[in-house]
Structure 1
């Protein structure tokens, strides 16, 4: 088997922000984007790179912008999808510069959990329009005829293939714990077959994927690589499961969570 690491499976190598943008305005004021500007570039490793951080840090905005800069439809799908339901994407994608690898992916897909319903509708429309039987690539059944979680797993199982480039925005949104484990297994298989993933997630289960790179965006805007045990979703989940009564007493009383420190006070 061809090894998945090295130049193989590294279709996007680096992401930079173009100069001359106004960092006081959205989306350039987001912590993740400010840090990208300060650091000069975000290097992507072969295999899987996870982006983690609190809501509002800019993970989804950054994933969407990278997808747009890579030629994907802002609402999701492959690079052949060109439908539009409602234009809500930011202008960030127009200001990103991608350094690509020598090899091109054999297949690709951009999954946005919040807009996959629209992608499913487009899949149905294209299938009815004739041409190649499109539903076969999604398990032979319309995603609308499956539960949200089942359709996500159908996508990963049947549509995703070797040597692919996959950008995923919070894929765990529709998945049970068991389904998250199934997705983790499928991602591991695809990485071994030369695929590259960039994933924004809050799931400690997905973050456990062996060999993955985890980049954490802090509330202050720093973007740094962390180990699995240090990642914010892992630390908070462990703390809660270790003492749920204490957490709930604080939450339902006067306590509040400090997302940066991962502690309650």
Structure 2
């Protein structure tokens, strides 16, 4: 029953409809070797090195769900630069029986555009101020990290699906730990998260599913098995040796 009630159970690639696999984004190993990806009913992490396609696949999932490619909730329809890939058109979504009451697509690289769009909508004065759902203070008048955290804290209301692309980009380690607490509160309130991240702190959320993107495709992994965790552990276990290796000429 719990499995059926999660909002997004899995995605399937419509392989027979793809015209070519030798061009972006279909040449990426995470797409080229994809058949179906099953999500955790609570939290799923997409991790891996730069260029492996995490953000591309996450964006495609968000677009297929109806979110603006640049981020926001389902009622955000602005566009500052049309750069998203067509991958979302080739994904089949396998959903649960319940529909989310809330949702948000947050991506670090275009959050400024979301903040600007909120101010534009509020200047039009068509009803309740949008910024009130984000804590009431202009996101442009806060630091990047404060604006990010205000969104987690105030805008995410629970009973929703939340797609996050590298949320740690603006957050200190302490704020990343606070984010774990907020994620847990929302999970307890019937929410589902799909998060692309480089942060071992964030991906430490218990009972989550971790998919590591590699140059051969996607593999399910444990935190301690990911390259991110092993690299950070190696660095802090023997910082001087690592620095000597990196800086020695």
Q: TM-score category by the smaller chain?
A: over 0.9
Match of residue 20 from structure 1: 17
* Alignment equivalent of 1:163, drawn from 156, 159, 169: 159
CA distance in 1, matches of 2:13, 2:59: 14
SS of residue paired to 1:204: coil
Query: Residue by residue, what CA displacement relative to the aligned partner does 1:127-171 show, whole Å, maximum 9, x if unpaired?
Result: 121111211100111110111001111001000011110000000
Offset, 1:35: 2.5
Offset, 1:210: 1.2
Query: Residue by residue, what CA displacement relative to the aligned partner does 1:50-86 show, whole Å, maximum 9, x if unpaired?
Result: 0011101000000011111111000000110000000
Q: Is the 8 A contact 1:7 1:46 kept in 2?
A: no
CA distance in 1, matches of 2:226, 2:203: 8
Alignment root-mean-square deviation, CA: 1.3
Offset, 1:220: 2.2
* Alignment equivalent of 1:126, drawn from 115, 121, 125: 121
Deviates most, 242-251 or 232-241: 242-251
Runs of 4+ in 1 over 6 A off after TM superposition: none
* Alignment equivalent of 1:144, drawn from 136, 140, 164: 140
* Alignment equivalent of 1:65, drawn from 60, 68, 76: 60
* Alignment equivalent of 1:226, drawn from 204, 221, 230: 221
Match of residue 48 from structure 2: 53
Where do 5+ consecutive residues of structure 2 fail to align? Answer: none
Size of the alignment, in residue pairs?
A: 246
* Alignment equivalent of 2:234, drawn from 235, 239, 242: 239
1:1-265 counterparts in 2 under 5 A?
Answer: 6-8=3-5, 10-18=6-14, 19-21=16-18, 22-36=20-34, 40-130=35-125, 131-221=127-217, 223-253=218-248
Offset, 1:6: 3.6
Offset, 1:253: 3.3
CA distance in 1, matches of 2:63, 2:230: 32
Deviates most, 150-159 or 245-254: 245-254
CA distance in 1, matches of 2:64, 2:240: 46
With normalisation by structure 2, the TM-score equals 0.95
CA distance in 1, matches of 2:242, 2:21: 37
Where do 5+ consecutive residues of structure 1 fail to align? Answer: 255-265
Q: Greater helix percent: which structure?
A: 2
Offset, 1:218: 1.6
Q: Is the 8 A contact 1:52 1:232 kept in 2?
A: no
Offset, 1:234: 1.0
Offset, 1:214: 0.8
